[in-house]
Every structure is written in structure tokens, then in C-alpha cells.
Amino acid sequence: MTLSDYKFTNYFMKEIIRKRPYIKNEWCIRIIENPLKIERQEFNRYRFWGRIKKFDDKISRVITLEDKKTIHNVFPDRSYKNEN
């Protein structure tokens, strides 16, 4: 997939990027395409967990809308637990 295959909500573009300007859209897409874990959440959204090497390999969570192509939120997830 390419960047053009994905969309970003207004909330993501106006709030998340403003709060976390270091976040790269490509990192979010990489997590969605190669997740450590995926989970459906309330309101037909999906959580994707993945590692971002630029952050010392720390885990981040990406939230998408139901289509799994519209990115709504991303943040470091310090509480991530891998059940595998």
C-alpha cells in the first residue's frame, strides 16, 4: 500500500499532528500494515499496535475508522502487553 491508499480524519490532522508534530504518517501506515496486534474497539474503530524504531523501538497504538484505511489517532502505548 501507499500513502495515497490511506486517509486521515480532521481530528488527526488538526489535533494529533499539532500535539505530536514528530509523528510521521508513514509510521502509522507501517503499523497498520505490519501490526503486532489488532483489536476491534467500540464505535466500529480498530486498534493497531506496532513498533516505531525511531522511538527506541517503543510500542505505539494507531486507531482507524471501520475501513481500516482512515487514521484517526496515534500515541505511544506504555501499557501494551503482548499476550503471545
Averaged pLDDT in 10-residue chunks for the chain of 84 residues = 86 95 92 96 95 84 97 90 62
pLDDT confidence of residue 1: 61
Q: Which helix (H) or strand (E) holds 70?
A: strand 70-76
pLDDT confidence of residue 14: 96
Burial of 35: CB neighbours in 10 Å, binned 0-12, 13-18, 19+: middle
> CB–CB of 52/46 below 8 Å?
no
pLDDT confidence of residue 62: 98
Instruction: Please give the distance of CA 8 from its chain centroid, rounded to a whole number.
Output: 11
pLDDT confidence of residue 82: 67
Cell 505490519, located at residue: 34
pLDDT confidence of residue 33: 96
